[in-house]
Structure 1
């Protein structure tokens, strides 16, 4: 009869096999999980009561044992494998990992209460997109932790302009003007909410000063048609599962100019093969639109689904190429890697959005009405499309007027 620890290891092995981990990776995870259970048994600790600090203590212990056994230190990222195996074990033993952070002390209690209510308000009352809520909540937690650490719970109600200035000065180093303006806008949102709910006596939103950004200043990166063709061709030659996935993603970016989140959230049922259409849920507006499934996109998707997508019960189309097989969380590294492989290094940002810029410019040059471009790109208003006009610089040069008197100077 198996002991409780052996039963837990057997369940871990079954769970890893179900998630399609390779036999080598699964064996390593189970080996390190078994070592962790033995460590807990020697110290008479229950696996159901383990907290994050105890994992760090075990890893320090494991590194000392490794050094003693091999007479050298392990590689710098060696700890990632035992840590992953232990986390997988604890997800089975405790049902959830990592655990929610403990709320200890009056400052932590106040911060937790304000953040929970603010999160609910952003979601239910304002109906913001998940990415927007994440950014606002990060700033809220950061600001409240900073304020409560140096002023205590009483300082929240007595929040002053000086506190705001000190926080903005602390956040400013290393940030661009655009990023610092975003910090100011997120802080205003939090202060407005806290004043409305009675946490802050005075409305300080007007005292949060950020840098002034002029309309349409700076030209974002974009790609030429030949550059897009080059990156598609280079990626098409990679017939590995990851290559098939990235090629399908790049086809969606180049053909429709979709946002990263719209591609990551694309489900199997969003592709209507009979009607040759594609349903897109726009991440910022929450609306759905239906686009024609163009032949190159359909062929790339079909090739990936047949030969590249791992076996999983997830409904999202684009999945990690290695276990655990979860939906992709970000497309920036995949796009950047494919651009660099094609020898393309834009002067500015080189994430998925530059394909969106390129698609907008192509439509503008084809004399497509601005309202239609906005609908295709999933913009809430036509004003959101105006910044893309500045990208068509060659078109502006082509229609430049002669300077009066230039013929005399010549």
Structure 2
């Protein structure tokens, strides 16, 4: 079957078993508040999925999680990366599942030994360790890969775990990832192994068997290039998105807020009379910080002239699409998009946090004051910024010997 789904501007030629779902999907997205262009871009994913099923000789009922993974890989192999985002895929699959066109979401087979352990591990990370959702997802993903590698004839034999199997997994994984990523993998693996030990799933603590990844924490200087004027200047403050992005950038630059802290900021967290801001940070930490005048002005401008009326209490909402708070990843993209608009090298959100600490030191502040601004639990986490405190380092630097002194 071949079908054309069009609104007069962006035609989609569709074939395959899901062809009749493309146009209703696009219309539903527009009813939910997506722009016509955005709705059409997401519809392209569904159209491509339908064509892929046709090429593979598959029906919608055969679209399991494994088949979805094959579809994603096929698009990557063909070089189609632009619109295949996790969000697009969730929208497409959610629509098809709600319509009964494809099987319900798989949450692991009933009695799956790996999924059973992962469910307990996820609960441990959230309740006992109090980690953020994003961190938990990353650690659970590493745990899933490791535990799946230990399956023998669909049985999880944790009693067979050995230092050799742990080291072998790290070695195999290191062939796929860079040093920075491997540090996260090994850290996650140590956490899993300690969890297995304290829950008596294994009889010994194998966390010490995880090899260390070569790499030195204080080997590089934080970026000190001040691109802030260019980032702020790129925001068109006559538009809603420009007002919002300007306020977000100032929060990162002046107060060193993380992207997740910006996304969690709620209306009741801004105390206008006291000139304070409640920041909800990592591990459930809550701090009250002074609200600088320029940051307050930018926030007020966004709230009065940019933010849409909404039942949500979060300060920063999406300016297009359905009414919803900005996700952490959307906040992360604010300085990146501003960099592209300004025509400068990409500035990541965390670099602005680094910049805030460097400004404290450049103004004569101490590491303790920088740690207080960044809301670190101790000065050890702020030690990296000692390298840019040239005034403090100068007294301990020995002069370079002259020719006469050699």
- Kept in 1: contact 2:231–2:335 (CA 8 A): no
- Cα-to-partner distance string for 1:290-331 (whole Å, 9 max, x where unaligned): 222222212222222233333432221222232133322313
Q: Which of 298, 304, 307 is 2:305 aligned to?
A: 307
CA RMSD of aligned residues (A): 4.6
- Rounded Cα–Cα distance in structure 2 between residues aligned with 1:185 and 1:367: 35
Is the partner of 2:288 in helix, strand or coil? strand
Identify the residue that residue 203 of structure 1 maps to in structure 2. Answer: 205
- Rounded Cα–Cα distance in structure 2 between residues aligned with 1:365 and 1:375: 16
1:328-347 equivalences under 5 Å are 328-330=327-329, 331-345=331-345
Q: 1:84 Cα deviation (Å)?
A: 7.2
CA gap 1:197/1:391 in 2 versus in 1, 3 angstroms: same
Q: Which of 368, 386, 399 is 1:403 aligned to?
A: 399
Identify the residue that residue 168 of structure 2 maps to in structure 1. Answer: 166
Q: Which of 201, 204, 219 is 1:217 aligned to?
A: 219
Identify the residue that residue 288 of structure 1 maps to in structure 2. Answer: 286
Q: 1:381 Cα deviation (Å)?
A: 1.4
Q: Which of 112, 126, 130 is 2:129 aligned to?
A: 126
Identify the residue that residue 364 of structure 1 maps to in structure 2. Answer: 361
- Kept in 2: contact 1:309–1:319 (CA 8 A): yes
- Rounded Cα–Cα distance in structure 1 between residues aligned with 2:270 and 2:104: 35
Q: 1:400 Cα deviation (Å)?
A: 6.8
CA gap 1:300/1:117 in 2 versus in 1, 3 angstroms: same
- Kept in 2: contact 1:158–1:201 (CA 8 A): no
CA gap 1:86/1:182 in 2 versus in 1, 3 angstroms: closer
Identify the residue that residue 275 of structure 1 maps to in structure 2. Answer: 274
CA gap 1:24/1:119 in 2 versus in 1, 3 angstroms: closer
Query: Which ranges of structure 1 fall in alignment gaps of 5 or more residues?
Result: 1-8, 37-46, 61-74
1:82-101 equivalences under 5 Å are 87=93, 89=95, 99-101=105-107
- Kept in 1: contact 2:108–2:115 (CA 8 A): no
Identify the residue that residue 254 of structure 1 maps to in structure 2. Answer: 253
Is the partner of 2:157 in helix, strand or coil? helix
Q: 1:180 Cα deviation (Å)?
A: 1.7
Identify the residue that residue 7 of structure 2 maps to in structure 1. Answer: none
- Cα-to-partner distance string for 1:242-282 (whole Å, 9 max, x where unaligned): 22221111111111111111111111221122333211111
- Matched positions, count: 372
CA gap 1:99/1:209 in 2 versus in 1, 3 angstroms: same
- Cα-to-partner distance string for 1:378-397 (whole Å, 9 max, x where unaligned): 111122222221233x5467
- Kept in 2: contact 1:285–1:380 (CA 8 A): no
Q: 1:89 Cα deviation (Å)?
A: 4.1
- Rounded Cα–Cα distance in structure 2 between residues aligned with 1:359 and 1:270: 21
Is the partner of 2:297 in helix, strand or coil? helix
- Rounded Cα–Cα distance in structure 1 between residues aligned with 2:64 and 2:116: 25
Is the partner of 2:328 in helix, strand or coil? coil
Q: 1:357 Cα deviation (Å)?
A: 0.8
- Cα-to-partner distance string for 1:315-348 (whole Å, 9 max, x where unaligned): 21222232133322313322112123323326xx
Q: 1:140 Cα deviation (Å)?
A: 0.8
- Kept in 2: contact 1:281–1:289 (CA 8 A): yes
TM-score normalised by structure 1 residue count: 0.74
Is the partner of 1:236 in helix, strand or coil? coil
- Kept in 1: contact 2:150–2:156 (CA 8 A): no
- Kept in 2: contact 1:29–1:84 (CA 8 A): no
- Cα-to-partner distance string for 1:31-87 (whole Å, 9 max, x where unaligned): x99xx9xxxxxxxxxx9xx78549x89xx9xxxxxxxxxxxxxx9878999977755
CA gap 1:291/1:404 in 2 versus in 1, 3 angstroms: closer
- Rounded Cα–Cα distance in structure 2 between residues aligned with 1:193 and 1:337: 40
CA gap 1:277/1:83 in 2 versus in 1, 3 angstroms: closer
User: Is the counterpart of residue 244 in structure 1 residue 274 in structure 2?
Assistant: no
1:9-28 equivalences under 5 Å are 17=31, 19-22=32-35
Q: Which of 301, 318, 321 is 1:320 aligned to?
A: 318
- Rounded Cα–Cα distance in structure 2 between residues aligned with 1:179 and 1:85: 28
- Kept in 1: contact 2:371–2:382 (CA 8 A): yes
Identify the residue that residue 376 of structure 1 maps to in structure 2. Answer: 373
- Rounded Cα–Cα distance in structure 1 between residues aligned with 2:81 and 2:128: 46
Identify the residue that residue 39 of structure 1 maps to in structure 2. Answer: none
Identify the residue that residue 43 of structure 1 maps to in structure 2. Answer: none
CA gap 1:154/1:269 in 2 versus in 1, 3 angstroms: closer
Is the partner of 1:363 in helix, strand or coil? helix
